[in-house]
Amino acid sequence: MVSGHFEHFCNGVACKDKWGSLYGDYKKINDFRSVTSHNENYWEMSIEDKLAQGLPKNFNKLYFDLIHDFMHSRPCFNPLHSRDFMDPKDDI
């Protein structure tokens, strides 16, 4: 016990599952925001409206912003050519 709080350790599988859950909800909200007008703000919608749109009923805006910043700060590259080793015509 540390300062009245229990320490909680997660294994890799639990961390991966939590990330998958957070990212899945983030993606639903982000996709919703990209296809709707900016008049519809997820954080101002009622729970019923969120559920009707297939969105999570609760998602912390701070978590959304942190995931959004993380996902958009990653370097991105497009390979010039991806080789298909199973295709005999694909030789560089």
Residue 64 pLDDT greater than 70, yes or no: yes
pLDDT of residue 87: 72
Residue 20 pLDDT greater than 60, yes or no: yes
Q: Residue 69 and residue 58: Cα distance in Å, rounded? A: 20
pLDDT in tens, 69-85: 998 887 766 666 666 66
pLDDT in tens, 25-61: 999 999 998 887 656 789 999 999 999 999 999 999 9
Alpha-helical (H) ranges within the chain are 12-35, 47-52, 61-73
The Cα angle at residue 69 between residues 68 and 71, in degrees rounded to 5: 65
User: Structure tokens of 64?
Assistant: 């959304």
* pTM (predicted TM-score): 0.66
